[in-house]
Amino acid sequence: MIAAYSRAPASGVRIRTFLTITAAVLTDCLTAIPRHMTDRMFLVNDAEAYWRGWQIIKIHGGLGRRYRDPAFDTLAACSQCAGAGQGIEDMPCITCFGTGRLYNESNERLEGGVS
Ligand SMILES: [Zn+2]
């Protein structure tokens, strides 16, 4: 009865298991190399972005970075001048002072925010 539980798997199963584990380890090692290299390459930039409170978005499979200030969520195009910043007779828009943007001082995300 004990012999039924202690039987070793067939050699074909052991070889397949060994090859599966070896392939998984090699794949993990090979994908980790460029990831670690780019993490080191962007270390200073990521630290500054973290310090400023920016979002860090890894692009191209982690080989590139995109940084974004969440403060842009509080901006929206001026509805008076449609974001152009110009009012009547090429004068600066009175509502947005010629910037073409409105800023929500309560830091809430505006509809149609600039991204
Ligand atoms: Zn305006």
Q: 11 and 58, same structural domain? A: yes
Instruction: Quote the number of domains for the chain.
Output: 2
Q: 48 and 26, same structural domain? A: yes
- From ligand 1's centre to the CA of 74, what distance in Å? 16
63 has pLDDT over 90: no
Q: Note the pTM of the prediction, 2 decimals.
A: 0.55
115 has pLDDT over 50: no
Helical segments of the chain, H only: 2-5, 11-41, 43-52
Per-residue pLDDT tens over the stretch 73-96: 888 999 999 999 998 888 999 999
8 has pLDDT over 80: no
Whether residue 95 lies inside any domain: the answer is yes
What is the reported pLDDT for 107? Answer: 56
Domain that holds residue 92: 69-115
Q: Please name which of 65, 62, 67, 66 lies closest in space to residue 35, comparing C-alpha atoms.
A: 62
Mean pLDDT of the chain: 85
Whether residue 1 lies inside any domain: the answer is no
What residues does the ion ligand 1 have nearby, CB within 5 Å?
78, 80-81, 93, 95-96
- From ligand 1's centre to the CA of 91, what distance in Å? 10
Q: 114 and 74, same structural domain? A: yes
